[in-house]
Structure formats: structure tokens, C-alpha cells
Amino acid sequence: MHRMKRNIFNVGRLSVLLAALFTLGAPLALTSCKEDISEDAFAVATKQTITDYVSEHDSLSMIKALFDEVKLGNLENASVLTSVLSARGNYTVFAPTNAAVQAYVDSVVGHKGATIAELDMDQKKRIALNCVIDHVNSAAYETADFSAYVSTNILPVSNLNNRRLPISQVDDDYYVNNNALIIPNQSNIELSNGMLHVVDHVISPSVKTVAQLVKDADNMRIMGKLLEITGWADSLSLKTKEEEAYETSHVGYAGNKKSFPRVGTFDYQITRKVAYTAFVETDQVLHDDWGVPMPQYDEATGEIANWDEIMKVIEEKCTTHLGVRTAAGDYTNTANAVNQFVGYHLLDGGLSADEFVQHFNEYGYDFVDAKNPSTKYTVIVYDYYQMKSKPSGLLKITQLPKEKDFYINRISNLNNGFPYQQGRGDYQEIAGQPVKAKYVNKPGQNGCNIKISVTNGANENNALNGYYYPIDHVLINNQATRNALASERIRVDVITLMPEILSNELRGRGAAYFTNDFFSNIMNTSVGTEIYYLRQGYAGVGGAWRDYNGDQLLVCGRFDFVMKLPPVPESGTYELRLGTSNNELRTMVTVYLGDSPYNAQPVGLPIDQREAVSNIPGNPWKQDTGDEETDRENDRNLRNQGYMKGPNAMMPSGTKAGDDGTYATCRTTEGNPALRRILTTTYMKSDKTYYLRFKSAIDLTTAQFVLDYIELVPTSVVNGTEEPEDIW
């Protein structure tokens, strides 16, 4: 399918030509201009807009009527969609046929032959806004684009109702929001301001909560009930009043932009949506793994007739596997085993499946661009998230490169040696023995190696306030689970610690700046603290970035703030590291650590992110030689000064393979390479929360402090109890 052509260039070329002729003093008449200039130069004026197209097709008259009435925004003078879709832009429109709109209106109003006039404005907005996506400066979607998003079942750009739309494929057909077929001979209608696809159903994502969708799923009756009786369903309720209060109190910032010297322009983030993610066993999984009786569901009453029998087994299994016997029968008590079990399945932050892990600058990967990312994955990629349970815990999500499947708590055997070692060093799982049998030798054992499904059949999993995903084995977080997670280096992207970025569709999609009350995991911020989110390619910033996943929190001003750390999986001694990419724009910062946001103690010397590696005492940073013994000795010398090279699993963005098939990674790049700063080695308890405080150490408000990623590394890994810590 051909890419949609932009005609702005032709008009610009005409303007340049006219200006040049006047400058040269050439005689000019409009008639001669018309004779000499191709008709293509006037295509913008003659090609139909989206509004033109729907106006001229009787089969789309009902959606046109809604576009005439529904406004984009809540202000009195806001434009109706008809006006918006007649202007320049890049829109994708999934236009429902009249038959589709009529069927939807009948179902909402409750009788056949209902009219649009019988809908209230919220119902009209739901139809009109959900079917339009504004791509701003990117091209609209053609059907050829959709194949890249089928594996995660979600389109990356939100619609005008601020909802991400599921996209699926059956044979050669594509479906939006599970049930809306893109009619094959009425797709890819190229218009001057976008692309229109006719669909056979109204696009109407669910307005229910995550907990409600789980309860409604015909294969998740047990977990739906458990969410209710433990009180976790209430914690997953809509936070509409909270969201509205935030927006109201920040309305004065609406439309504000902030220019940052030598970086770019950032939009102020005025909305603060609250969303959640749940990983849920089906009734069949609970039956197969734990012997829980299948529910006898009464459709008339909405009750499970054999609930007492089910609950008896659930209590017994939770108590046995978790070793928790406190608050027996008090299911809303966080000390209760059943309550903790349910809490292990829940995360703060709305995670669409394409956000489980990030593909940007991992070893060997070619990002291409945001709209058409490569799906040729090269190495294993993972990240860690904090469970809502109390006490909390970590949940690791891994994606395999070839299968593209997602797993929870997969403890992998990896080819993780030096890249130049024969048969090692590609950072993929070892064929024939992909997982470490010491911790898990079959799927689901010890709450490890659990496969995630991105869809749940005909059941919707895209809620108004987040998502849920089916899992194929029972998820627990017992001593064995924690031991397994504590056997590895834990590398956490700072962005995954910020559920507000995940919930507000910011990750990987732009640049923003925030007031100091935006983040729940950043607190005690001074008045002078300025916090930004930045992804490479936005805000005018280019070059080869050495950031984990290509994004960062950028902190400036006279800053002083506290950041909450993720929990460690098991009590023990950990080395705490901070990923950093130094350059002359950075700043110096003093770091403190403690188990209270109000009482932290300094750790180590201040970090100077302006420091080139050549300024590290003794000049210990050396380029790899290809001799492992020499390179490990160089690494030890660098560690003695409190630094480590950046991970070999990361490349400077945009890096391509060399002539010899190798890559310039964040470990091997010279100049100002990526580094890891060792903050401290300390004993940390799994049932305690720890905090890092960062305070600017120089009085230069335009200098940048970059927060990229955190590493929590058990000393057994640091010291190589089983094998030396890998370079990846």
C-alpha cells in the first residue's frame, strides 16, 4: 500500500518560484503562471477533506450529523468536529456506517428506530470522538501499518477521547476494538487531511473499570469475586473526582509551554489520569493448577452457587503457598493471605501491552521510527514493576525476541558472556535450557515463567481506567519467588516507577513538564525543582542517546526532591547503582538514602554528571581490548573509583552494525560513554520502603540532572557467587 502523499511541498515550491521571479524583476501574469505550473501544485485546494468525503456519502450521514454537533473540548467556543476535520491535519477516521450507528443508538436508547436526538451529549461524544485519531505531525494509519501492532493488540496513538484502541487481525481482515471490521473495499480512503476507513460497528471502548471488566469476563468469575471480597475492586475504582480536581487546580497552566535552553520546548501536562493493570488467572487455570472447583454461575442472580466450596480451596492454597496465617477470614485485611494473593496481581499505572517492555536501543535493534517501529527483536528485554500488595513486591515482565511472547518472573539462562567469546554473548536464552531450573523447571512453578495473553477472547480487557490480561498459571509471591528474583541483577527504568507517566500515555510519545505534585513516587520537592519527561526525537533533541529505553526524567533548577525506590524481593545486602550519561550540560548532585522520605543520610561523594571519563581519578576507563582477562581487570579498576561501564545490552540510539557484525554499545563507546555510578552497598529489608533524596550541589538552574535507571544488585551477583556478573 502506498504511503499517503503530502502536497504542502508543491504549494511551498510555487511560493518560492513566485518570490524568485519577482526578485529577478521578471514580468509575471497569473495566466502565464497557470500555464507553466503543474496542476499538482493546487492539490491541497482540490483534494477532498474528511468532512467533504463524509458529507458526500449518504451511507455516512449519521456519523456526519454527530460530527456537526460534537465539539472538540469543553470550552463554549470549541470547534465542532466537522470544522476540525475540514482543516489541515493528519487524522485517521474509523467511520461507522449508518447501519452501524443505528444499531448502536438502538442499543443505547433501548428501542428500535431510535434517533440521534434521543442521545445525551456524553453518548454522542462517545461515538464521534472514539472514531478519530489525531496524529499531529505523523502520517495517518493505512491498513498496511496495522500489522506492526497486532502482536500487542493496541494502536500506539490515542483517539480524541483519550483512549487507545485495540487492533486485531483475522485472516486478511482487521478489527478495531475487537468487533469493528474495517470493510476491505472501503479502507485506505486517502484524503487531504488524513485517511478514512469505513467500519461496520461503532467504536466504543468500555466505560467500565478494570475490576468490573474482570467480573464481567465469562472465564474469570472467581477472580472477579475475589477482587470484591478483598476490597481490591474498590481500590481499582474510577478516580474521576481526583482527576477533575487536579485538572481544575492546574487549569491556569493549560496551553503553557516551557522552553529549556539547548534542549527544546515542553508542553505542560495538565491532565493526571489514574489507571491500573491486572494480571488475572482464568477459572480454568485456578482449577488446573490448584484444584479449585469450576464456578457454577447463575446468570439470573449473577452469583456463584458453589462459592463456599471454592473459597475453602482458595484459602487453603493461599495459606499454604504464602505461609501467611494472620487475619484469617478477614479478607479486606492486608495481612490476610487471600488479600495478599489478590494484591500480587495488581499494579498502579495503566500498562497497554506495548508498554510492558520498551524497544528502542537494545543490543542489535533497529528502531526505525515511532510510527513504524521494527518488530524484528534481537535480544531478551525486561523491566520490573511494583505490586500493589501489602507488603509489596516486584513483578518482572520479560519479552522473548523471536516468539515476542511476554512472561512474568521468567528467570532466564542467557548467552551473556563477552560478545567476542565463542558461542556466547548474544544476550538470548540458551537453546534447550532457556530458564534456570534451580528456580523454575516448569511454567508456573514458584510463581515464575507465567505467560501473559494480550487479549481475552471476546471479552474486553481495555477498561476506562486501565487494562487486565489473562495469565496461564497461578501467580504467587512466596519465599521461593522472592529467592528467584533476588538471584539476578535488578535493573529498573525510572519511568516504570512513575505510574502517572504510564497512565497518561506519555511514555515513548513525547515531552512534557510537570508541577511538583504530579508524581506519587516523587515527594518533598523544593519550590525550585523542575521536572521534565523527555524521549529522544522529541523537543528538537537528536543525536545518539545513551539512555535506557531512550527516555529520561530531566530535573533542573535549584532542585531538592525524594524518589521512592522499588522494594527488594528478599532481605539482604544490595549494591545500589544509578545509570548516568555524562556531558557538559549536566550538574552535580548530592545523594541521600534512607527508609523515610524525611530522614535520609548522604551516600558517597556528590555525583558530577558533567565529568568526562578522562577526569575519573587514575583514568581507569579503557576501551575493551578483546581479551577477557584484561577487560575484567580494567572493569575492576573502574569499580574501585565507584563507576561501572554502561550495560552492553544498550546501544547509543541509531547505532548500526559494524562491518564485522558487532555493535557499538553503551559499554564500548568512547568519548563520554554511558556509566553506572555505584551509590552504596547496604542491607535492605524486603518489607521496608527506601527512598533516595537528590539535592543540587551547584547554583546553576539551567544545568540538568538526568534520572535514567536504577540497579539493585544482590552482593551474591556482584561478587559472582555462581559466576561473574555479566557485562550486559
Task: Identify the residue with better confidence: 374 or 318.
Answer: 318
pLDDT in tens, 243-276: 999 999 998 888 888 887 777 888 899 999 999 9
Mean pLDDT of the chain: 89
pLDDT in tens, 282-296: 999 999 999 999 999
Amino acid in the structure at residue 557: G
What's the whole-number mean pLDDT along residues 695-713? Answer: 94
What's the whole-number mean pLDDT along residues 2-30? Answer: 31
- Note if the bond before 391 is cis, omega within 30 degrees: yes
pLDDT over 50 at 101, yes or no: yes
Element (H, E) at 50: helix 50-56
Write out the E strands in 623-664.
643-645
What is the 3-state secondary structure of 74-132?
CCCCCCEHHHHCCCCCCEEEEEECHHHHHHHHHHHHCCCCCCHHHCCHHHHHHHHHHCE
Which of 44-48, 319-323, 384-388 has the highest average model confidence (pLDDT)? 384-388
For residue 31, the model assigns a pLDDT of 30
pLDDT over 60 at 143, yes or no: yes
From the list 252, 248, 242, the residue with the least C-alpha distance to 273 is 242
Radius of gyration of the chain (CA): 28
Confidence grade of residue 723 (pLDDT, cut at 50, 70, 90): confident
pLDDT over 70 at 124, yes or no: yes
Please state, in angstroms and as integers, the Cα–Cα distance from residue 413 to each residue in 64, 171, 426, 438, 569, following that order. 56, 36, 12, 11, 20
* Strands, sheet with 167-170, edge to edge from the N-terminal-most edge strand: 167-170, 173-176, 180-181
For residue 278, the model assigns a pLDDT of 98
Amino acid in the structure at residue 284: Q
Here the contacts of 329-337 (C-beta below 8 Å, separation 24 or greater) are 331/229, 331/230, 331/231, 332/229, 332/230, 332/231, 334/389, 334/390, 336/230
Which of 22-36, 240-254, 271-285, 622-636 has the highest average model confidence (pLDDT)? 271-285
Which of 6-15, 188-197, 621-630 has the highest average model confidence (pLDDT)? 188-197
For residue 26, the model assigns a pLDDT of 35
For residues 583 and 541, what is the distance between their CA atoms, to the nearest angstrom? 14
Burial class of residue 203 (count of CB atoms within 10 Å of its CB; 0-12, 13-18, 19+): buried
DSSP per residue over 4-44, as a string?
A: PPP-HHHHHHHHHHHHHHHHTT----HHHHHHHS-GGGGHH
What's the whole-number mean pLDDT along residues 2-25? Answer: 31
CA angle at residue 464 from 357 to 708, to 5 degrees? 30
What is the 3-state secondary structure of 559-589?
CEEEEECCCCCCCEEEEEEEEEECCCCECEE
Q: Are strands 194-199 and 91-96 parallel, antiparallel or unpaired?
A: parallel
From the list 649, 635, 641, the residue with the least C-alpha distance to 718 is 635
Sorted by sequence, the CB contacts under 8 Å of residue 488 that are 6+ apart come out as 411, 714, 717
For residue 6, the model assigns a pLDDT of 31
Amino acid in the structure at residue 163: R
Cell of 661: 557484525
Confidence grade of residue 38 (pLDDT, cut at 50, 70, 90): very low
What percentage of the chain reaches a pLDDT higher than 90? Answer: 73
Q: At 317, give phi and psi (nearest 5°).
A: -70, -45
pLDDT over 60 at 33, yes or no: no
Whether 474 and 281 have beta carbons less than 8 Å apart is answered as yes
What's the whole-number mean pLDDT along residues 432-443? Answer: 91
From the list 553, 584, 694, 577, the residue with the least C-alpha distance to 647 is 577
pLDDT in tens, 655-673: 666 666 677 888 887 777 8
For residue 133, the model assigns a pLDDT of 97
For residue 12, the model assigns a pLDDT of 32
What's the whole-number mean pLDDT along residues 310-321? Answer: 96
pLDDT over 80 at 211, yes or no: yes
pLDDT over 70 at 375, yes or no: yes
For residue 57, the model assigns a pLDDT of 97
pLDDT over 50 at 543, yes or no: yes
* Strands, sheet with 674-684, edge to edge from the N-terminal-most edge strand: 490-493, 709-714, 572-581, 674-684, 643-645
Q: Quick one: how far is CA 586 from the chain centroid? A: 26
Q: Reduced to 3 states, what is the DSSP secondary structure of residue 497?
A: helix
For residue 42, the model assigns a pLDDT of 35
Cell of 198: 469505513
CB crowding 504-515: b at 16 or more within 10 Å, else e: bbbbbbbbbbbb
pLDDT over 80 at 546, yes or no: yes
CA angle at residue 43 from 41 to 44, to 5 degrees? 110
Confidence grade of residue 347 (pLDDT, cut at 50, 70, 90): very high
What percentage of the chain reaches a pLDDT higher than 70? Answer: 91
Least confident of 10-14, 475-479, 542-546, 676-680: 10-14
Least confident of 369-383, 517-531, 580-594: 369-383
pLDDT over 60 at 7, yes or no: no
First to last CA, the chain: 40
What's the whole-number mean pLDDT along residues 61-71? Answer: 97
Q: At 387, give phi and psi (nearest 5°).
A: -75, 155
What is the 3-state secondary structure of 223-266?
HHHHHHHHCHHHHCCCCHHHHHHHHHHCHHHCCCEEEECCCEEE
DSSP per residue over 505-535, as a string?
A: T-TTT--EEE-TTS-SSEES--TT-EEEEEE
From the list 594, 613, 585, the residue with the least C-alpha distance to 677 is 613
Total number of residues shown for the chain: 728
Please state, in angstroms and as integers, the Cα–Cα distance from residue 155 to each residue in 146, 231, 679, following that order. 8, 32, 39
pLDDT over 50 at 588, yes or no: yes
Residue with cell 471454592: 310
For residues 718 and 725, what is the distance between their CA atoms, to the nearest angstrom? 6
Q: Are strands 466-471 and 276-281 parallel, antiparallel or unpaired?
A: parallel
pLDDT over 70 at 17, yes or no: no
Cell of 555: 530535573
pLDDT over 80 at 203, yes or no: yes
Query: In degrees to the nearest 10, what's the CA dihedral of 574, 579, 583, 587?
Result: -60
What's the whole-number mean pLDDT along residues 415-421? Answer: 82
